[in-house]
Structure 1
Amino acid sequence: MNLLHRHIFWSVLTSCLAAVGLFSVVLILGNVLKDMMSFVLAGQLPATTFLYLMGLLIPYVAAYSLPMGMLTGVLLVLGRMSSQREITAMRAAGMSMGFIARPIVILAVLATAASMAVNFEFMPRARTAYKQILAQAVQTNPLSFIVPKTFVRDFPNLVLYVDEKEGAQLRDVWFWRLDKESRVREFGRAGAGEVSFDEEAGALQLVLRDVVAEARSDKDPEDYSKILGTTTIGEVPLTFRVDDIFSRRKARTKYAWMTYAQLSAERTRLQSTGGVGEVMKLDIAVTEKASSAVAVLAFSLLAIPLGIKVSRKETSANLGIALLLVMGYYFLTVIVSWLENSPELRPDLLMWGPAALFLLIGLWLFRRVDTVR
């Protein structure tokens, strides 16, 4: 690698690392606010556990920040070089775009391999450990299941919303009882309540007081014309075993949080039990992991011509362009994921579509830029 290639390689590398770091921080803060902040403010997570959990979030958010960071980094560097006429000078010296872009392509291939390792190995392990450690930390204080101003969905067939909580005392409690199809069959509101934990039974006990409830038809709870009536009850006791709550959480493990070895073993098990629909969902998860890694290469190739042509005069537009492209990519993947219940359309293969589309557009634009002198 000559001096010019080393200059481009290290410029793009440092810019991409900075962009990946920026996006990672933003995504980590979003996850902290969503998952941990209420427990931190309530003093239910020790500082060491909190910091360790934040570290475990890094591989998880890296799966998303790597494609965005590579796209942004390449756009920023080539946009700057283009605006300062460095690209023009290289082309005037007889260098082709393929020669100029060689270090960027090498870096993109390395980043694609890193993304593949993150998606299939490091991210699933870190995400599983994150969920387990967070659950254990919360389980040591069972009363923390009730978080004020949050919809609590951990209890079987019940959704709770508590407006205020002071210790074990609750005020203004809303609840929705669900049937097996997650339809609301009873809705109510309690003026006050109290939560306690029975250590011997390992159960969370919730007592609601001054309850006004509205019951609906068991056969068709979504038909509001068949409301059975409204009743007022002085006190409603509810009991939930903590083990049952955590078994429900474990049952919701996503295929995206499995390593490649775990996915292979699970696919073999599903095929032996005849779970065709679940096999398709698993295949979609595998394809999505692989295609998001290939998207790193696609975004990098797409950023080369865009950085040279679009950003010739306005470097500040790079970040906006990058965000729009990434949003478009993930929007397409979401559309394909909606087809998971239509295996005849082969959504597992269609999941390659967004990455392939961006890769083809990048190659086409790259060729156009290379032919223009």
Structure 2
Amino acid sequence: MFGACLAAVALFGFVLLLGNAIRDLLGLVLADQLPLPAFLELLVLLVPYVAAYALPMGILTGVLLTLGRLSADSEITAMRAAGVSVWRLSRPILLLGLAGMGLGLYLNFEAMPRARTRYQHTLAEVVRSNPLRFIVPHTFIREFPGFVVYVGEKEGTLLRDFWIWELDAQQRVLRIVHAQTGQFDFDEEANALLLSLHQAQVESRDRANPEDFSKPPLVGTFARSEQVRLPLDSVFARRTVRQKLKWLTLAELRERAAELAAAKSAAEAQHNADASELKAHAQRLLELRLVLQEKGQNALAILSFAAIGIPLGIRVSRRETSANLGVAVAISLGYYFLNVAAGWLDRQPELRPDLLLWLPNLLCLALAWRLFRRIGQN
């Protein structure tokens, strides 16, 4: 059972790791903006994050695969004929689920937040350590707000065949700049690239109606331009990465909860307290409780999935790996859909979405108990 669960967790973890790597890192790697050692370090930092979600699905899949095979080979029937009850057969699996739940609590409240925070800081620092790496030749760079940049050749900080298009809010071209050469410098304090152009030509269009080509554009040439500032805030974050609530450890969440509760009490003590301010404090407290409850119920899901996998594995009696894997994926999708649906109610505190987050686990445990009783009666 342990080997099957470990293999299933590794499979789901690999799939989730690959998805996160493609979403966050593949573009940087292909653009030669992320060195290989940093890429490998970031992959390692993603492991606790994906493991927190891979554990429940992996445990369920391992239980279904093992018990399904035993049941299909009539070994479950032989054990029950020898006097081994379903409860006795389930004890080691439930203990494995409890151990997995303990590991899930550690991952959700300690390892994952620390790794996720370090991941964001490392990613920002890697890109920031060589911001000019972001300029890739023969590529239209659209990450600068209000600009599109193209570079024909790049030699260190020296650029050749440089183009820049300035856009308005409707993405219409207001100005076109073409320079034979250019020079980039990085202003770390302002978090911006400073661009100096040489032998440049500028074409400016009517800002009120840039697509009115009946009016001739203003064209000018110059040997050297003043420095153009291209902000990098939209490209990568500043040194202080804004932490999400999900990236806080248990101690940090408790500290944040105490601060919010004190602020709410102070606001309520004021006779002329603003209703909108009180509502904002209550909303922030609810968001914090949702994070705490979500982390806890994700860990409990490991035990719930182990419990529901026992009667399903015994009753389904499927030898095929794909069929058992399909059952595990279907249950997992249903569970996470209910979980997400409860999170949609975060703007309706009167419905207690923090408590509704536990509903998927309660349904799994109730269904497991019902199936256990039906098997015990057979």
- Scaled to the shorter chain, the TM-score interval is 0.7 to 0.9
Tell me how far 1:243 sits from its aligned partner: 11
Q: 2:372 pairs with 346, 366, 370, which one?
A: 366
Tell me how far 1:242 sits from its aligned partner: 5.5
Tell me how far 1:15 sits from its aligned partner: 0.5
Alignment map for 1:235-246 (pairs within 5 Å): 239-240=230-231, 246=237
Partner SS for 1:94? coil
Gaps of 5+ in 1: 1-11, 178-184, 216-227
2:277 paired with 1:277: no
Which position in structure 2 is the counterpart of 1:113? 102
Seen in structure 2, the aligned counterparts of structure 1 residues 146 and 89 have a Cα distance that, compared at 3 Å, is: farther
Alignment map for 1:169-248 (pairs within 5 Å): 186-188=170-172, 196-199=184-187, 202=190, 203-205=192-194, 230=210, 239-240=230-231, 246-247=237-238
Which position in structure 2 is the counterpart of 1:43? 32
Which position in structure 1 is the counterpart of 2:118? 129
* Deviations 1:236-271 (CA, angstroms, capped at 9, x unpaired): x653266995249723x2211110011111112222
* Deviations 1:132-159 (CA, angstroms, capped at 9, x unpaired): 111100101224557868974xx7xx48
In 1, distance between residues paired with 2:125 and 2:189? 18
Q: 1:317 pairs with 305, 323, 331, which one?
A: 323
2:244 paired with 1:258: no
* Deviations 1:36-81 (CA, angstroms, capped at 9, x unpaired): 1222223332322221211111111001100010000000000110
In 2, distance between residues paired with 1:318 and 1:39? 37
Identity of aligned residues (%): 41
Seen in structure 2, the aligned counterparts of structure 1 residues 140 and 300 have a Cα distance that, compared at 3 Å, is: same
Which position in structure 2 is the counterpart of 1:296? 302
Task: Give the root-mean-square deviation of aligned CA atoms.
Answer: 3.5
Tell me how far 1:123 sits from its aligned partner: 0.5
Partner SS for 1:239? strand
Higher Cα radius of gyration: 2
The alignment of Structure 1 onto Structure 2 pairs a total of residues equal to 335
Partner SS for 1:187? coil
* Deviations 1:103-145 (CA, angstroms, capped at 9, x unpaired): 0011000101110110000000011111111110010122455
Mean Cα displacement is larger for which, 265-274 or 337-346? 265-274
Seen in structure 2, the aligned counterparts of structure 1 residues 87 and 204 have a Cα distance that, compared at 3 Å, is: same
Mean Cα displacement is larger for which, 242-251 or 75-84? 242-251
* Deviations 1:154-201 (CA, angstroms, capped at 9, x unpaired): x7xx487879986567779796x7xxxxxxx54335877889443476
Which position in structure 2 is the counterpart of 1:92? 81
Seen in structure 2, the aligned counterparts of structure 1 residues 302 and 171 have a Cα distance that, compared at 3 Å, is: farther
In 2, distance between residues paired with 1:324 and 1:88? 27
Seen in structure 2, the aligned counterparts of structure 1 residues 312 and 23 have a Cα distance that, compared at 3 Å, is: closer
Which position in structure 1 is the counterpart of 2:69? 80
| C-alpha contact 1:70 1:299 (8 A) present in aligned 2 | yes
Alignment map for 1:145-184 (pairs within 5 Å): 152=143, 158=145, 167=154
In 2, distance between residues paired with 1:330 and 1:164? 45
Seen in structure 2, the aligned counterparts of structure 1 residues 106 and 138 have a Cα distance that, compared at 3 Å, is: same
In 2, distance between residues paired with 1:159 and 1:292? 42
Which position in structure 2 is the counterpart of 1:17? 6
Partner SS for 1:316? helix
Tell me how far 1:355 sits from its aligned partner: 1.5
| C-alpha contact 1:255 1:282 (8 A) present in aligned 2 | yes
2:339 paired with 1:333: yes
Mean Cα displacement is larger for which, 192-201 or 27-36? 192-201
* Deviations 1:265-292 (CA, angstroms, capped at 9, x unpaired): 1112222333221111111011011001
Seen in structure 2, the aligned counterparts of structure 1 residues 338 and 242 have a Cα distance that, compared at 3 Å, is: closer
AA aligned opposite 1:250 = V
In 2, distance between residues paired with 1:61 and 1:119? 10
Superposition TM-score, scaled by structure 2 size: 0.77
